[in-house]
Structure 1
């Protein structure tokens, strides 16, 4: 909710005709005073808008491509909803307000103890159960999207546990078309409708509404502010015609135990959105729930059986949710465009007034590579092929490069260059056997681009520093060796030799460029995170982003050198690799109650502030579960066991089985639990991909995504 609303919490029918009749004739809950009707809401544009925390504990969408709506859940409520593409958020949040009409009014998000359930372990159907801290009521909400329409359906049970009667209100805070201050709204045939440009929404209820109003957030026309003032909805505004931070409120007729369904429909205009919502309500929640579940059942049945590494450890649900979540991160119009996450990290601290707030609903070729290799591990080869199609048809540049990241239509967002992101599409194409003329015409340019511009990269995989990076060089070498194999398939021996000569030289020199023998940690001999000029012993100053400070570059380490092993560039027992583990662990490893976690690098500033406040440019980097998975892959390559690493990743997932980008790195406090997710991106597709891939690799006894041609040349 908006910041002003946060401070004001608590004080001590299906068809259009039926809904309209309910609005006109259903009396309010017992004790409610009828509101005064008015046409135009005052107060435009309202207060500034924001998004919500990136810590989602549920995500959902149908397994079909007809329903172009995705929803996320967190803090006991519905928050960002994406439509018609995965890079367009449209909802800040939607939740219930409960009042007795005379003594208290409270938001369910702030006044309840909350838990999340997955009623069907083979479906992305989540249930939120919110129980009033004072024991007065319980709200149970189960979410599905209509597989045939862009409609979210929320089956709700409202129970009065003591006292009563109580009043229930739906509080809907749209931020349509990617921004929070351009919305207008109205009541139309018993439905609350809103629009901004080419996106419109409609909120309807199977029970009808006994009152409905549209107003501007934080002003007198805001339905929640009205309720918080005297526990009554005193005014109803039929429309809010001036663009602003719209908020819509509706009273739902309830008794001591009431069930009903909310339908939140989307369309290109208000009429289309209202028609979609009404059609879904007419079909009935139960039918849509069964259809929704069936789609996910069929998808999981199309995959390989879960590996023994998960079934033997009781992690089958975690594995299935990872598989479904990865599928849910693919757009349904731009096929193959898998976003990094349906979240906006620390979104509650990010202004949403104007379009378009940068979250993780973008496509990085590196993250897409990880999703695609996880899809291959799952047995979803079609998804991996769609990902490569997207890379080559949408993101590929004429010079062979790939952008740092893009919106779904291919428009670059952040403007830097990361050479590992140029290499990974080559590696993926080779793994898929996509080496035909059309693919090679583009990937040859990508390989040439790497030769001409590497090995030093403008940014390494953490997107903050340039120079000689072990992880980037590993990807570059793998890209060149797989490109050489493709070149030979096309009879281009000259190109093949050029790529191999370059890869061989870089493989020989990666230690010269990035392995210090005079560092301040341990025995002084280990891989650095990145070196500015390829001289790892000159002690140049490295100034870290995000308030991390300036340090001797020899003092900054990360786990990126393990990519040399995963991609087959170095054997697991290479002295430089084994000799770097102790320093990396000493600086980066934290033993949490859930198992070992690792920082990205020491002095990282990308995370919550020291007091747990949302990251706004400077903070304290926390632990990344995907790095636990990467360490597990190294242990496999070294002939060891990765069971602890797989189990740790599973324990770091939240109650909705979603694995976060970051987990809290110290004793519980500031609203966070040691070893559990923060306000960063949850779920992170890379984290979910790493879990899936590690599980499959454990059964195989090796890292199956390691390119054979690279490993045979160097590691074996």
Structure 2
């Protein structure tokens, strides 16, 4: 006897005549996958994005790039009482040229697993083709474990066993804790269906920490047959016996919403199609789609790191909110936590505050650099989409939130001076290239600069989001924004307003040294430190007050004098051309930084964010490839050599083309890193920094 489980408008068949609820509700606290992804994929058009972590499909986002629906999907091999988790194997991941599809080779205990992982070309689905060579024939059990994170939270999920095709069960997961107070952006009607092609399969589900399939395996009680678990932190598994030396099968992950109004025949037809399609044909179709995009760009097609960077950057864009790019595919991903726990389920399900979203948000600073990277490869259309997104998301007062979701909804709300200035800089670049008309963005530009001028030369947070004061890096962005406003108003607006912007730009440029140039400090005199925090609103580089270094653990010293803390961020002035590259104080500071916040790894030179940095694995800051990139741009402007810095960046690329945040456990890929690499490559070709304004020169700076 069968009965139908009706989920909104979607009907499925429950596998068993009677539902067997798993014990252990609501399950243990949920965890996210590790941050350093080995691959990141999507098609040019479908709103499904997958990651590869530990050699398996990790977090999958749908139908928004900032909304994760799964944690991971992987194979466990059970032989008697022993079991092997493929996530523990050694992995080699490679990207298929011209696409964001991947092949993975995993090996361990004399077993070799080959996987081809790709989006379906015309469906919202992921396809994984497995070939497992056990080395010898024998009776084993394969267990496909699936961890859902529906609607961006490990809690509140429901998973159930349903009938699939070919007399096999499937797993359906959805948000089971729906109370009506969730924002539409959480897409609580989203559902996912997990299936595979192995015949004579069975299925079970449970709550993590008690009755989940992994817990059953660990306690040697697998399989305990349950058909439903949730709402809570749940897990499901498909399993089947195999005996051959080599086993081949396919795994599919389908994503849809109730609005699809699918009935059982349509659902089964889609699944049957996914299980039969030739994956090579799907990948070739994606390659053709990406080629239509790539063929319009200007880049070295033989440079696989450049191609990877372009594709990864484009893949960070939402498919509906065009111009909105997340920082990276990681949730929440602190670099000293391998597997981050759910921070607050109640806030997560309502998208309140930081919650679980981590790097899957939009930072205006990162977004500006991405837009410039697209300009560097001649993708002006995407850069214009970014400008339009900035226009849509600006606060009425004139500034932008510290970070936002792709729909522009604010998350963190601190004022960062550079994040108000850089959208103006982008508009100036676009207008100079005749890609947009200033009249369309004039109100945005004027409100942004008015707000920034009213706030003064200091910022609540600098670009590392940790301290307030006068930051050479943030102030450099602000002055560049003022010069951008000067150019726009001089040529297309009001000359009086333009003169006002120029006066403030010159005042803040002059003030930089009186506010920030350290005297009688740890490294002598006439050098720039990371930030001048001030004392009672006074900025005095001769009075070396203490600064708290954030992200320290309780055993580490966290307060240092401001003159002890070096930061490469001052090169913002050099690489944008708003000070002469041979300015003695900038040259001296660069020499000091080269001696104190860089490391020679033999294959290249990497830079720390700043002295005593703790944002990294084990609370020790790592070396950031984008900082080596900024050092290259400064070297180009100064006529110096830069090969060791470039070597460091290129060594940081994985074989699959992913470039991370830093050389410790950290988010990978990071969009800012990939954007920086594209800008570096363009700057090397041009023999000048791509960030420079052509209309700012000695005449304007006098």
TM-score range (shorter-chain normalised) is 0.7 to 0.9
CA deviations on 1:599-646 (whole Å, 9 max, x unpaired) are 10111111121xxxxxxxxx1111111100100000001112333322
TM-score (normalizing by structure 2): 0.88
Q: Quote the offset at 1:43 in angstroms.
A: 1.4
Maintained 8 Å contact 1:68/1:149: no
1:87 paired with 2:63, answer no
> For residues 439 and 278 of structure 1, do their structure 2 counterparts lie closer, same or farther at Cα, with a shift above 3 Å needed?
farther
Q: Quote the offset at 1:20 in angstroms.
A: 9.2
Maintained 8 Å contact 1:63/1:147: no
> For residues 104 and 364 of structure 1, do their structure 2 counterparts lie closer, same or farther at Cα, with a shift above 3 Å needed?
same
Please state whether the residue corresponding to 2:321 is helix, strand or coil.
coil
CA deviations on 1:47-82 (whole Å, 9 max, x unpaired) are 110101110110000012xx1110111112221111
TM-score (normalizing by structure 1): 0.86
Aligned mates of 1:649, 1:173 — CA distance in 2 = 34
Q: Which moved more, 1:171-180 or 1:208-217?
A: 208-217
Aligned mates of 1:60, 1:419 — CA distance in 2 = 33
> 2:626 is matched with which residue?
626
Which residue of 329, 341, 348 maps to 1:342?
329
Q: Quote the offset at 1:224 in angstroms.
A: 2.2
- 1:208-357 mapped onto 2 (5 Å cutoff): 208=199, 210-219=201-210, 221-230=211-220, 233-240=222-229, 242-252=230-240, 254=242, 255-269=244-258, 277-306=271-300, 316-344=303-331, 345-346=333-334, 348-351=339-342, 354=345, 355=348, 356-357=355-356
1:565 paired with 2:541, answer no
> 1:359 is matched with which residue?
358
Aligned mates of 1:215, 1:317 — CA distance in 2 = 43
CA deviations on 1:125-176 (whole Å, 9 max, x unpaired) are 11111112x21x2211111112322111111112221352322111001111
Q: Quote the offset at 1:302 in angstroms.
A: 2.3
Aligned mates of 1:651, 1:517 — CA distance in 2 = 38
1:121 paired with 2:94, answer no
Aligned mates of 1:539, 1:532 — CA distance in 2 = 9
Maintained 8 Å contact 2:140/2:241: no
Which residue of 71, 77, 83 maps to 1:105?
83
CA deviations on 1:541-581 (whole Å, 9 max, x unpaired) are 11221126111111111001100111211111111110111
> For residues 453 and 713 of structure 1, do their structure 2 counterparts lie closer, same or farther at Cα, with a shift above 3 Å needed?
farther
CA deviations on 1:517-543 (whole Å, 9 max, x unpaired) are 21111x333101110232111111112
Which residue of 526, 542, 547 maps to 2:547?
542
- 1:154-553 mapped onto 2 (5 Å cutoff): 154-162=128-136, 164-189=138-163, 190-196=169-175, 197-208=188-199, 210-219=201-210, 221-230=211-220, 233-240=222-229, 242-252=230-240, 254=242, 255-269=244-258, 277-306=271-300, 316-344=303-331, 345-346=333-334, 348-351=339-342, 354=345, 355=348, 356-393=355-392, 395-433=393-431, 434-521=436-523, 523-533=524-534, 534-547=539-552, 549-553=558-562
Please state whether the residue corresponding to 1:94 is helix, strand or coil.
strand
CA deviations on 1:278-317 (whole Å, 9 max, x unpaired) are 543354433322222322233322211318xxx5xxxx11
Aligned mates of 1:715, 1:603 — CA distance in 2 = 35
Q: Quote the offset at 1:121 in angstroms.
A: 2.4
Please state whether the residue corresponding to 1:710 is helix, strand or coil.
coil
> 1:30 is matched with which residue?
none
Maintained 8 Å contact 1:48/1:352: no
Q: Structure 1 runs of 4+ off > 6 angstroms? A: none
1:56 paired with 2:37, answer yes
Aligned mates of 1:253, 1:496 — CA distance in 2 = 75
Q: Quote the offset at 1:122 in angstroms.
A: 2.0
Aligned mates of 1:350, 1:662 — CA distance in 2 = 22
> 1:40 is matched with which residue?
21
Maintained 8 Å contact 1:343/1:681: yes
Maintained 8 Å contact 1:37/1:235: no
Q: What are the ranges of 5 or more consecutive residues in structure 2 without an aligned counterpart? A: 1-11, 164-168, 176-187, 349-354
Please state whether the residue corresponding to 2:100 is helix, strand or coil.
coil
Q: CA RMSD in A?
A: 2.3
Q: What are the ranges of 5 or more consecutive residues in structure 1 without an aligned counterpart? A: 1-18, 25-35, 610-618, 664-677
1:700 paired with 2:686, answer yes
Maintained 8 Å contact 1:568/1:715: no
Please state whether the residue corresponding to 2:681 is helix, strand or coil.
helix
Maintained 8 Å contact 2:506/2:701: no
Q: Quote the offset at 1:209 in angstroms.
A: 5.8
